[in-house]
C-alpha cells in the first residue's frame, strides 16, 4: 500500500466524523416565516450581511415545479433568506424584499379558488404567499406571462400585484439600486 493510500485510509475515520457533524445540523424554520423556509445555523464567524445596513433584494422567480403538489423553491428562497438572516441578528426592517414571478411560476401565485379551478386543489403555495406578504415582501406577477397563461389580476392571490412585465420590474428595480437574486 502506498504512502498516499495509507494516509487516505488513516484520515477516513476523521473525515467520517466531521461529515457526520455537518450532517447532524438540523434544518428548521423561523423566526420570520414559521412554517416554510428551513435553514441551518452556521458558525458565528461565517461571512454575513452587515448589521445596520439596509438591503433591497429582488428575487427573480420564473421556474415552476414539475409536481404541482410541492412548494415553489424560488418563492421559498425568499422565506429562507428572511429566516437565516433574522437568526443572525439582521433586522427585518433592513431587508426590503420583492419577488417578481413570471413564466411557469405564474400559476404558483394564483388564489386558491383560481388554482382549484385549473388544477382541482388548493394552491400549495398559499400559506407561503400569505406569510411572505405579512412579512412585508412585495410580490409582483408579470402581466405578459399572466396574459399568455390566461390569468387575470383578480385570479392572483391576495397581496400579489400585477406588473407590466417581469422585464419592467427587473429594469426598474436594478436601476434603483436593488440587488438581483436570480
CATH number (domain holding residue 105): 3.40.1260.10
**Count of domains in the chain?**
1
| 21-33 burial: b if 16+ Cβ within 10 Å, else e | eeeeeeeebbebb
- Identify which has the larger pLDDT, 37 or 67: 37
pLDDT in tens, 94-121: 999 999 999 999 999 999 999 999 999 9
User: Does the pLDDT of residue 170 top 60, yes or no?
Assistant: yes
Structural domain boundaries enclosing 97:
1-182
CA angle, 152 then 156 then 162, to 5°: 70
Half-sphere CA count of 170, side-chain side, radius 13 A: 14
**Confidence at residue 25, expressed as pLDDT on a 0 to 100 scale:** 77
State pTM to two decimals: 0.84
Rounded to whole angstroms, the Cα distance separating 166 from 105 reads 12
Mean pLDDT, rounded, for 138-146: 99
Residue 74 reports pLDDT greater than 80: yes
Output the CA torsion sign for 94, 137, 40, 74: negative
Q: What percent of the chain has pLDDT over 90?
A: 80
Residue 124, Cβ neighbours under 10 Å: how many?
A: 18
For position 97, what pLDDT does the model report? 99
Which element (helix H / strand E) includes 179? strand 179-181
Q: Please state, in angstroms and as integers, the Cα–Cα distance from residue 41 to each residue in 79, 94, 101, following that order.
A: 15, 20, 29
Amino acid at each position: 500500500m502506498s504512502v498516499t493510500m495509507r494516509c487516505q485510509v488513516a484520515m477516513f475515520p476523521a473525515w467520517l466524523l466531521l461529515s457526520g457533524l455537518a450532517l447532524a445540523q438540523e434544518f428548521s424554520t423561523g423566526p420570520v416565516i414559521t412554517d416554510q423556509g428551513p435553514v441551518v445555523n452556521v458558525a458565528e464567524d461565517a461571512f454575513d450581511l452587515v448589521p445596520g445596513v439596509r438591503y433591497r433584494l429582488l428575487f427573480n422567480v420564473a421556474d415552476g415545479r414539475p409536481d404541482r403538489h410541492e412548494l415553489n423553491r424560488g418563492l421559498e428562497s425568499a422565506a429562507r433568506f428572511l429566516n437565516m438572516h433574522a437568526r443572525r441578528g439582521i433586522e427585518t426592517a433592513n431587508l426590503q424584499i420583492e419577488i417578481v414571478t413570471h413564466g411557469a411560476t405564474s400559476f404558483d401565485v394564483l388564489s386558491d379558488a383560481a388554482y382549484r379551478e385549473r388544477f382541482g386543489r388548493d394552491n400549495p403555495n398559499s400559506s407561503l404567499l400569505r406569510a411572505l406578504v405579512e412579512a412585508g415582501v412585495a410580490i409582483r406577477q408579470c402581466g405578459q406571462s399572466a396574459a399568455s397563461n390566461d390569468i387575470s389580476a383578480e385570479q392572483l392571490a391576495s397581496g400579489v400585484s400585477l406588473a407590466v412585465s417581469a422585464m419592467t420590474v427587473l429594469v426598474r428595480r436594478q436601476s434603483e439600486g436593488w440587488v438581483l437574486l436570480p
